[in-house]
Structure 1
């Protein structure tokens, strides 16, 4: 556990320097230490910041740890730098990855159980009521659109309301990939205009599984490749939300999105550099 925490801090500090992040010279707990604490919380303590703070303070790893309220205020101010840090990390992973294939999919993150929807205070909007086709059930929360390498390492993500369909995810993600890359996705991402635009402007091929009534049917060989790839994508992406706790505690919507972001970033660091 300790070597992994040290690795998370070293990578976080290097990435903050790479994006040119500047912090107040008067701070006693650096921004890299604040973000590391949040990532350690996501990685080992189910998102409980207080437990991570206590763990890092006791052995002297971060002896100048802030109080809970001050830590939360600092962390919220670092939400955008955390996203910039992940963008930089994603660019690095894309550049060093040998395969030209990427996986695109989404998964839901509920704000609460359906029975508790009337009591939820983080957000009150029907846009957040979505449907999980694989489980044939509704949920109330957000949908995470995620682009990953062929090894299952996330390199881009975006948050959308639960009711948003996957085609909106194509517009929410930058899909910044090297030329001649291929993105494999399921039939829910079918949008011929976006496919043509990606191919013509970015030289990126969107390999979407075709429906039976598709206007652009695949050859049997390509259909088999997409089907086989689809099974692998489902296996990889199902392992990401498993890292989340059953319930993510937050008192604001920004805090909820911040915690989900730390889970994704912590998973990425573990999958890319620690495993």
Structure 2
């Protein structure tokens, strides 16, 4: 565990330097250490920052650990650098990816059960009430759009309200990919205009699973390839959500999104460099 924590810190520090991140030289706890603490909390302690802070301090990994309030303030100021760090990480992973195939899908992250919606203080908007078709139930929270390699390593993600459909999520991702890339997605991403635009402007082929009444039906062979290829994304989602606690504790919506981001980044580092 300690070896993995050291690896997370080393990668985080290198990535911050690579994206040109600047910090105040007077700080006792570096920005890389603050972000590492959040990633360690996501990786080992269900997102509990206080337990992660205590562990890092007690084991001498970060003896200058901040108080809970100061740590939270520093971490919230580093939310955007954390996202920039992931963007830089994604670019590296894309550049070394030997495959031209990627997987696209979304998964829900509930803020609370439906019965507790009236008590929610993070956000009050019907836009966050979504539907999980596989479970045939509604949820109140966000939907994470995620693009991953066929090896199961996330390279792009975006947050949308729970009610947002996947076509809208397709427009939220930068899809900064090499030419002649193929993206496999399920039928929820059906948008013929988006498919044509991607292929004409970015030479990216969106391989969407076709519905029975599709105007662009697939041959049986292509339909089988799409079905078997895209199903691996569910394994990626399982790996990310397995780190989640029963309920993600946050006081603000930014804090909630920050914790979800930390879970995704921690999973990516583990899948790409540590496993």
Distance 1:47 1:113 in 2: 19
1:61-76 aligned within 5 A? 61-76=61-76
Work out whether residues 101 and 149 of structure 1, in 8 Å CA contact, stay in contact via their aligned partners in 2: yes
Which ranges of 4 or more aligned residues in structure 1 deviate by more than 4 Å?
Answer: none
CA RMSD in angstroms, aligned pairs only: 0.8
Q: Distance in 1 between matches of 2:43 and 2:174?
A: 26
Question: 8 Å contact 2:108–2:162 — kept in the other structure?
Answer: yes
- Measured against aligned partners, the alpha-carbon deviations of 1:183-239 in whole angstroms (never above 9, x if no partner) come to 000000011111111111111100000011111111111011111123323333333
> Match of 1:48?
48
Q: What SS is found at the alignment partner of 1:249?
A: coil
Give CA-to-partner distance per residue, 1:91-150, whole Å, 9 cap, x none.
Answer: 000000111110000000000111111101000000000000000000000000000001
**Contact persistence 1:47–1:259 (CA under 8 A):** yes
Task: Give the TM-score, by structure 2 length.
Answer: 0.99
Q: 2:212 & 2:23 partners in 1: Cα distance?
A: 55
User: Normalising to structure 1: TM-score of the pair?
Assistant: 0.99
Q: Which residue of 1 aligns with 2:199?
A: 199
Structure-2 residue corresponding to 1:224: 224
Query: Which residue in 2 is equivalent to 1:143?
Result: 143
Q: Matched residues in 1 for 2:153 and 2:244: separation?
A: 16
Report the counterpart of residue 157 of structure 2 in structure 1.
157
For 1:167 and 1:239, locate their aligned partners in 2 and report how far apart those are by CA, in whole Å. Answer: 24
Counterpart in 2 of 1:96? 96
* DSSP-derived class of the 1:210 partner: coil
Q: Distance in 1 between matches of 2:171 and 2:211?
A: 21
Indicate conservation of the 8 Å contact 1:105/1:237, yes or no. no
**Unpaired runs of at least 5, structure 2:** none
**Does structure 1 retain, via aligned residues, the 8 Å contact 2:142–2:161?**
yes
Render the CA deviation track for 1:55-101: whole Å, top value 9, x for unaligned.
Answer: 00112111110000000000000000000000000000000011111
Aligned partners of 1:122 and 1:189: how far apart in 2?
29
Unaligned ranges ≥5, structure 1: none
- Does 2:259 match 1:259? yes
In 1: Cα distance, 2:23 partner to 2:206 partner = 40
**SS at structure 2 position matched to 1:29:** coil
Q: 2:4 and 2:236 mapped to 1: Cα distance? A: 22
State the number of aligned residues. 275
Aligned to 1:81: 81
